[in-house]
Amino acid sequence: MTGHGFTSHRKLAVAGRMSAALSIIVVEPDRDRAMLIVDSLREAGEYEIHVISEPTGLARRIQALMPDVVLIDIESPSRDMLEELALASGPLERPVAMFVDRDDAGLTDAAIEAGVSAYVVDGMQPQRVKPIMDAAIARFRMFQRMRTELAETKRALEERKMIDRAKGMLMKARGVDEDEAYALLRKTAMDQGRRVAEVAAALVTAAGLLG
Q: How far is the CB of 72 from other proteins (least distance, A)?
A: 19
Q: How far is the CB of 113 from a second copy (least distance, A)?
A: 7
* Residue 147 or 195 having the CB closest to a second copy: 147
The answer to the question of residue 168 lying near a second copy (CB under 8 A) is no
Instruction: Candidates 7, 63, 153, 205: give the one binding a second copy (CB under 8 A).
Output: 153
Distance in angstroms (rounded) separating the CA atoms of residues 176 and 164: 14
The answer to the question of residue 143 lying near a second copy (CB under 8 A) is yes
The answer to the question of residue 207 lying near a second copy (CB under 8 A) is no
The answer to the question of residue 109 lying near other proteins (CB under 8 A) is yes
Give burial (CB, 10 Å; 0-12/13-18/19+) of 14: exposed
Contact between 68 and 22 under an 8 Å Cβ cutoff? The reply is yes
Binding partner of residue 17 among other proteins, a second copy, none, CB under 5 to 8 Å per kind?
other proteins
Q: How far is the CB of 182 from a second copy (least distance, A)?
A: 7
Contact between 96 and 70 under an 8 Å Cβ cutoff? The reply is yes
Instruction: Candidates 172, 174, 183, 192: give the one binding other proteins (CB under 8 A).
Output: 172
Q: Which helix (H) or strand (E) holds 47?
A: strand 47-52
Give the C-alpha distances (Å, rounded to integers) separating 157 from 29, 112, 164. Answer: 47, 29, 11
* Residue 54 or 113 having the CB closest to a second copy: 113
Contact between 195 and 189 under an 8 Å Cβ cutoff? The reply is yes
Give burial (CB, 10 Å; 0-12/13-18/19+) of 103: middle
Which residues of the shown chain bind other proteins in the complex (CB under 8 A)? 14-15, 17-23, 48, 66, 68, 79-80, 109-110, 113, 141, 144-145, 148-158, 161, 164-165, 168-169, 172-173, 194-195, 207-208, 211
